[in-house]
């Protein structure tokens, strides 16, 4: 008879609590765990500042052992620009949902990118536009690359993370991954679309 050993759940060091109040099947907590793992692995937690806009994902900042601040809807990139200019050695990350960035904050992120501000913007896109009326292992790789480029002073970096929202999609929780695959990935595509010259 073989002995069964239970593995302790892997909780990132920077995650203060694995509990959250988001809906069952939400993809935001999984994506956020991967971001925290990258920040920890790069050894940059003591100089990382998270700027969040408005949406479900705002819970992430209060459950993480990182400096963070919340700003008005859609204004994350503008506020992050101010943080980076005052603290040029900080690693500055904005965290926005699709309604926050693509609706309210589209001008902010476009102008931030056009100026080449040295920040990293993460878009947690579940296609719901929840507050504005309206996944996988590659996430970690893309976040790592974006933060490394920021530290190398390459300019603005942007990572779109496709996450699940079975509640907003009106599908059963277990149907979230299939819906993500069929609808979100087919619409938004996945891959590195533009890279800095070598």
Residue in 95, 100, 161 with CA at minimum distance from that of residue 130: 100
Q: Which domain holds residue 78?
A: 28-186
Token pair recorded at residue 128? 């719901």
The pLDDT of residue 3 is 59
Is 159 contained in some domain?
Answer: yes
Structure tokens belonging to residue 98 = 């699709």
Structure tokens at 73: 């809807």
Residue 4: inside a domain: no
Is the model's pLDDT at 188 over the cut of 50?
A: yes
Highest mean pLDDT range out of 8-12, 56-60, 157-161?
A: 157-161
Residue 8 placed within a domain? no
Identify whether 19 is part of a domain.
Answer: no
pLDDT for residue 9: 58
Task: Considering only residues 160 and 195, tell me which one the structure prediction assigns the higher pLDDT.
Answer: 160
Is 5 inside a domain boundary? no
On whether residue 117 sits in a domain, the answer given is yes
Token look-up 């609590």 returns: 17
- Comparing 126 with 44, the larger pLDDT belongs to 44
List, for residues 89-140, the tens digit of each pLDDT value: 999 999 988 878 887 788 899 999 999 999 999 988 877 665 544 444 767 8
pLDDT of 143 over the 70 cut: yes
Domain membership of residue 1 (yes or no) is no
CATH of the domain at 137: 3.40.50.970
- Chain-wide mean pLDDT for the chain? 84
Per DSSP bridges, beta strands 67-70 and 120-125 are unpaired
Q: Which pLDDT score, from 0 to 100, does residue 135 have?
A: 45
Please answer whether residues 32 and 139 qualify as being in contact, where contact means their C-beta atoms are separated by less than 8 angstroms. no
71 located within any domain: yes
What pLDDT, on a 0 to 100 scale, did the predictor assign at position 179? 87
Number of domains present in the structure of the chain: 1
Averaged over 69-79, what is the pLDDT?
Answer: 91
Neighbours of 63 (CB within 10 A): 17
15 three-state secondary structure: strand
Whether residue 13 is predicted with pLDDT greater than 70 in this model: the reply is yes
């Amino acid at each position: 008879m073989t002995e069964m050993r239970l593995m302790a759940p892997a909780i990132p060091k920077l995650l203060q609590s694995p509990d959250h109040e988001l809906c069952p099947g939400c993809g935001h907590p999984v994506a956020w765990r991967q971001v925290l793992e990258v920040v920890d692995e790069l050894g940059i937690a003591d100089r990382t500042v998270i700027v969040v806009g408005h949406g479900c994902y705002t819970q992430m900042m209060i459950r993480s052992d990182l400096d963070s601040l919340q700003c008005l809807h859609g204004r994350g990139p503008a506020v992050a620009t101010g943080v980076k200019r005052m603290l040029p050695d900080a690693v500055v990350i904005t965290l926005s949902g699709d309604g926050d960035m693509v609706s309210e904050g589209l001008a902010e992120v476009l102008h931030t990118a056009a100026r080449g501000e040295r920040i990293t913007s993460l878009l947690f896109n579940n296609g719901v536009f929840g507050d504005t009326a309206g996944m996988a292992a590659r996430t970690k790789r893309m976040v790592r690359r974006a933060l490394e480029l920021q530290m190398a002073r390459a300019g603005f970096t942007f990572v779109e993370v496709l996450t699940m929202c079975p509640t907003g999609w009106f599908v059963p929780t277990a149907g979230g991954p299939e819906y993500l695959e069929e609808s979100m990935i087919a619409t938004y595509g996945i891959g590195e679309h533009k890279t800095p010259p070598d």
